[in-house]
Structure 1
Amino acid sequence: MGILQDNLRENAHRMSALADDAAFGSAFDRAAEIMTTSLRAGGTLLACGNGGSMTNAQHFAEELTGRFRGNRPPLRAMAISDPSHLTCVANDYGYEFVFSKFVEAFARPGDVLLALSTSGKSPNVLRAAEAMKTAGGLVVASSATASSPLGALADVVIELGASRWADRVQESELVVIHSLMQAIEDDFGYSAE
């Protein structure tokens, strides 16, 4: 039980610090506003990340196209996670292009990319952010720190706080993703049933 208790205590400390951080709350509110504005205008939310952040990107998209808490029509969201696309692009162009090629194919002005990178330095996530900006869309970054290459490209950075371990940042990232889903559903007036 020592490992679990230590992890829970560390997470509780991280979550409390984020809950008390006004800049963090403001960035979150801005990100939710950007996303709902895009959806209301017929835009699409794209999401990408590596490893655990890929799983979080998929979770973000599937809850929006399916349901989070309330019964509602599906919302336009996609995770860049198709294995055929990823392996094709990695083989033909290089792994740093696996997300950007998808953004180039699908993004339109007013769309939003949720770019997940615990370090804020992942080359493939950076290229995706650049491609979204070129397409005329907006970038919401979720990262340990705003002072990163990804932070420099983003319209909004949800700064999760540095940690020795990426899994701690990804756990905070998941709470943010769930909260974004809730904010989007609330904004559209879809109440939990």
Structure 2
Amino acid sequence: MLEQRIQTQFFESADLKYQAADALARPVAQAAQMLVTGLTSGGRVLVAGLGGSATLALWLAQALTGRHERDRPGLAAIALGADGVALAAIGAAAGPEQVLARQIEALGHPGDLLVLLREHEAHDTALLAAVVAAQQREMTVLAITGKQPGAVGAALADTDLLVAVPHERLMRVREMQLLVLHCLCDAIDLQLLGEEDPE
């Protein structure tokens, strides 16, 4: 019984990835191009998420400043909210809905990009404030959400981009967000470094 349930998890995950490939290929390619254009023009990438998405935000910032699979010069990326002590201090001073927005106001500049990871509606107030702060700083926003992007999706401008995972179950959304981030890093490396020589 338990083994069947575990197998079902694998099958559901695989089915979602297969079904989402067509729907997400174009927006993920557009997102990769947006990031490369911003980075090569001197912009920085600010990555933000709350809850489980904070871990994914930290991973993306590390993959950009360090490396994904190939060696290349580091790219300017900062994970917002990565320091729990600072996050708590900002929340205490400005309110929990401003924890990301305050960092964007302090660190964001025109030409920078905000990559925002949204799992579900629980953090919408803080994520919406982050989008508004980024737009006020003349930053471009890339929102990677679940099937229902909520207030975050509604707040995006024409120059922003939405990548909406076509699922509502939290663990499936997180799995797909990680895959989207892997695809973004691979596409960025491809555009900056070209095709890898066959071994």
Q: Normalized against structure 1, the TM-score is what?
A: 0.92
Which stretch shifts more, 9-18 or 145-154? 145-154
| Contact 2:149-2:164 at 8 Å conserved across structures | no
8 Å contact kept, 1:110–1:137: yes
Q: Which runs of 5+ in 2 are unaligned?
A: none
Give the CA deviation at 1:117: 0.6
Q: Which residue of 1 aligns with 2:114?
A: 113
Q: TM-score, normalised by structure 2?
A: 0.90
Contact 1:27-1:158 at 8 Å conserved across structures: yes
**Which residues of structure 1 form unaligned runs of 5+?**
none
Structure 1 residue ranges, 4+ long, deviating more than 6 angstroms after superposition: none
Does residue 49 (structure 1) correspond to residue 33 (structure 2)? The answer is: no
SS in 2 for 1:136: coil
CA contact (8 A) 1:110 1:136 kept: yes
How far off its partner does 1:192 sit? 5.6
Aligned residue number for residue 69 of structure 1: 69
Partner of 1:169: 173
In structure 2, the partner of 1:87 is 88
Kindly state the Cα deviation for residue 147 of structure 1 after the two structures are TM-superposed: 5.2
The 1:147–1:122 alpha-carbon spacing in structure 2 relative to 1, beyond 3 Å, is: closer
Query: Which residue of structure 2 lines up, in the alignment, with residue 60 of structure 1?
Result: 60
SS at match of 1:161: coil
- The aligned residue for residue 122 of structure 1 is 124
Larger Cα-atom Rg? 2
SS in 2 for 1:20: helix
Is the 2:91–2:99 contact (alpha carbons within 8 Å) kept by the matching residues of 1?
yes
Q: When the two structures are aligned, how many residues end up with a matched partner?
A: 190
Partner of 1:145: 147
Q: For the Cα contact (< 8 Å) 1:145–1:159, is it kept in 2?
A: yes
Letter in 2 for 1:130: V
Q: CA deviation at 1:191?
A: 5.8
Across the aligned residues of Structure 1 and Structure 2, the Cα RMSD in angstroms comes to 1.6
Q: Against the structure 1 CA distance between its residues 65 and 147, is the aligned structure 2 distance closer, same or farther, given a 3 Å change threshold?
A: closer
Q: Is contact 2:57–2:79 with CA below 8 Å preserved after alignment?
A: yes
